Amino acid sequence: MTSLQSDGAADVRQIEAQAAPTRFARGWHCLGLTSDLGDGQPHAINAFGGKLVVFRGEDGKINVLDAYCRHMGGDLSDGEVKGNEIACPFHDWRWGGDGRCKQIPYSRRVPKLARTATWPTLDQDGMLFVWNDPEKKAPPAEVTIPHIEGVGSDTWTDWHWYTTVVDINCREIIDNVVDMAHFFYIHGGLPTGFKNVFEGHVATQYYKSDARPDLGKGEGAQILGTTSVASYYGPSFMIDELTYHYQHGDQRTVLLNCHYPIDANSFVLQYGIIVEKSDALPAEAATQMAVALGDFVKMGFEQDVAIWRRKARIDNPLLCEEDGPVYQLRRWYEQFYVDIADVTPDMVNRFEFEIDTARPREAWMKEVEANLAAGRLPKLVGLTK
Ligand code: FES
Ligand SMILES: [Fe+2]
């Protein structure tokens, strides 16, 4: 699909965009908090173009199966957990976590081919992951999700977790990894350092910022700046070691940013935050801070979402020198959409790119100073009308 030609001029840049892929990325995808999904009830998850059922059996194991019963298509997520199996609401066929039908209470035998699709699971750091692979291979150990320091320890808070649906293909959220300039225009940050490193299945963004002094008295007003090291481990799960700098000192947090595709044109975005406790920030205060920072982060995501909701899909972004390596990032991301045998070195080789923030900063400080002099707030999408 290309955009409409307004005047037919040969030198007008055309937006190019293929339809979003209907294949879904190979990799670990976080479906949510285990405390929510592992409560012994069946849970429906619309993902990967279909529907899954998540349930914890009496043996404590969490299972993820295709939600549609292979008998007559009943929806297992409306069923009941019986023992270690999920019982279909339609005719009570019992499906085990291995995908096999274990019994049909009204029948002498179970048909030999009674087997349904399953997803390998990982229950780690309070989150439930499923492994999606169109080739149906087992998850390789080297792409497993790393443990997160602090989760479950006394010195950090619990997760403060947010979930929202975004009606656009999930490539948009990945593009954010290299987008330095939007931090100023969308998130009210003043970038002072920005670098990307891609290698293997990991894509990292190193980001340092000062707060914009022209933001007024919002929630972020006392924050002097941030230092962030954010890495995608595979196509959908980012761990961000995010330190907020305050007058009184630094506050360490871990921000999670993850998603799973519902279908080609929508995804579930989830993010969570844990905050380190300290003498200056004992338990109660740390929890309050996790909630306050979580709300602050939520505002940031909503600003991104406001853009994504309206923007066009674009395969050929037109870039300037101070933009990040969008094309290289998309090549890195492509590795998750092809068969393992088709992964090429340019998708996984180490690639580094640092943006010189001096020139942008100069321009942005002028804008900030003009706002301050005029006593006006900057217009940020989703924040100011
Ligand atoms: S459709 Fe599930 S048991 Fe009949
Ligand atoms: Fe963003």
Q: pLDDT tens across 291-301, in order?
A: 888 888 888 88
Which atom of ligand 1 approaches the CA of 104 most closely? 3
**Is the residue at 379 inside a domain?**
no
Band (pLDDT 50/70/90 cuts) for residue 125 is very high
Residues 6+ apart with CB under 8 A from 374: none
Q: Does 178 fall in a domain? A: yes
Query: Per the domain annotation, does 154 fall within a domain?
Result: no
What is the CATH classification number for the domain harbouring 269?
Answer: 3.90.380.10
Task: Check residue 217 and give its pLDDT.
Answer: 66
* Per-residue pLDDT band at 379 (split at 50, 70, 90): confident
Domain boundary among 100, 117, 143: 143
On whether residue 385 sits in a domain, the answer given is no
71 lines ligand 1 (CB under 6 A): yes
What percent of the chain has pLDDT above 70?
95
Is the distance from the beta carbon of residue 102 to the nearest atom of ligand 1 less than 6 Å?
no
Q: What is the CATH number of the domain that holds 129?
A: 2.102.10.10
Cβ atoms of 164 and 170 within 8 Å: the answer is no
| Smallest-distance ligand from the CA of 382 | 2
Q: Does 54 reside within a domain?
A: yes
Last residue of a domain, one of 114, 143, 172: 143
Task: Give residue 284's pLDDT band: very low, low, confident or very high (50, 70, 90).
Answer: confident
> Counting ligands in written order, which one lies closest to the CA of residue 85?
1
The alpha carbon of 359 and the centre of ligand 2 are apart by a number of angstroms equal to: 21
Tell whether 198 and 345 lie within a shared domain.
Answer: yes
Model pLDDT for residues 319-348, shown as the tens digit of each residue: 999 999 999 999 999 999 999 999 999 999
pTM for this prediction: 0.93
Q: Does 7 map to a domain?
A: no
Tell me: do 196 and 225 sit in the same domain. Answer: yes
Give the closest residue (by CA) to ligand 1 atom 4. 91
Let me know if residue 78 belongs to a domain. yes
Question: How confident is the model at residue 385, as a pLDDT?
Answer: 41
The answer to whether residues 297 and 361 belong to one domain is yes
What are the residues whose beta carbon lies below 5 Å from ligand 2 (ion)?
A: 176, 304
What ligand 1 atom has the least distance to the C-alpha of 91?
Answer: 3
Q: What is the predicted pLDDT for the residue at 6? A: 58
Question: Does residue 93's CB lie within 6 angstroms of at least one atom of ligand 1?
Answer: yes
The CB of 68 under 6 Å from ligand 1? The reply is no
Kindly give the distance from the C-alpha atom of residue 136 to the centroid of ligand 1, in angstroms, as a whole number.
25
Residue 70 pLDDT > 90: yes
Is the CB of 79 within 6 Å of ligand 1?
no
Where is mean pLDDT largest: 199-203, 242-246, 368-372?
199-203
The bound ligand whose nearest atom lies closest to the alpha carbon of 177 is 2
Q: Do both 243 and 345 map to the same domain?
A: yes
The answer to whether residues 199 and 68 belong to one domain is no
**pLDDT higher than threshold 60 for residue 86:** yes
* 67 within ligand 1 shell (Cβ under 6 A): no
**Cα-to-chain-centroid distance, residue 14:** 30
Please indicate, yes or no, whether residues 283 and 329 belong to a single structural domain of this protein. Answer: yes
CA of 182 to the centre of ligand 2 (A): 7
Looking at the fold, whether 37 and 174 belong to one and the same domain comes out as no
Kindly state if the Cβ of 283 falls inside 6 Å of ligand 1.
no
> Residue 384: pLDDT above 60?
no
Centre of ligand 1 to C-alpha 333, Å, is 39
CA distances from 277 to 22, 253, 288, 290 (A): 43, 10, 11, 10
48-62, 152-166, 328-342: least confidently modelled range: 152-166
Claim to verify: residue 297 and residue 217 sit in the same structural domain: yes
Domain span at 239? 160-374
Region 151-180: mean pLDDT is: 95
CA of 258 to the centre of ligand 1 (A): 33
For residues 136 and 174, state if they share a domain: no
Q: Residue 187 CA: which ligand is closest?
A: 2
Q: Which of 116, 143, 170 is the last residue of a domain?
A: 143
Question: If you measure from the C-alpha of residue 226 to the centroid of ligand 1, how many angstroms do you get, rounded to a whole number?
Answer: 53
Statement to judge: residues 176 and 276 lie in one domain: yes
Residues 125 and 164 in one domain: no
Nearest residue CA, atom 3 of ligand 1?
91
Mutate to test the pocket of ligand 1, among 69, 94, 115 (most ligand atoms within 8 A of CB): 69
Q: Which atom of ligand 1 is nearest to the CA of 76?
A: 2
Q: Can you give the three-state secondary structure of the chain, one letter per residue? A: CECCCCCCCCCCCCCECCCCCCCCCCEEEEEEEHHHHCCCCCEEEEECCEEEEEEECCCCCEEEEECECCCCCCEHHHCEEECCEEECCCCCCEECCCCEEEECCCCCCCCCCCECCECCEEEECCEEEEEECCCCCCCCHHHCCCCCCCCCCCCECCCEEEEEEECCCCHHHHHHHHCCHHHHHCCCEEEEEEEEEEECCEEEEEEEEEECCCCCCCCCCCEEEEEEEEEEECCCEEEEEEEEEECCEEEEEEEEEEEEEEECCEEEEEEEEEEECCCCCCHHHHHHHHHHHHHHHHHHHHHHHHHHHHCCCCCCCCCCCCCCCHHHHHHHHHHHHCCHHHCCHHHHCCEEEEECCHHHHHHHHHHHHHHHHHCCCCCCCCCCC
> Per the domain annotation, does 384 fall within a domain?
no
Structural domain count of the chain: 2
pLDDT at 3: 52
Q: Among positive and negative, which fits the CA dihedral 29, 33, 37, 39?
A: positive
204 and 279 belong to one structural domain: yes
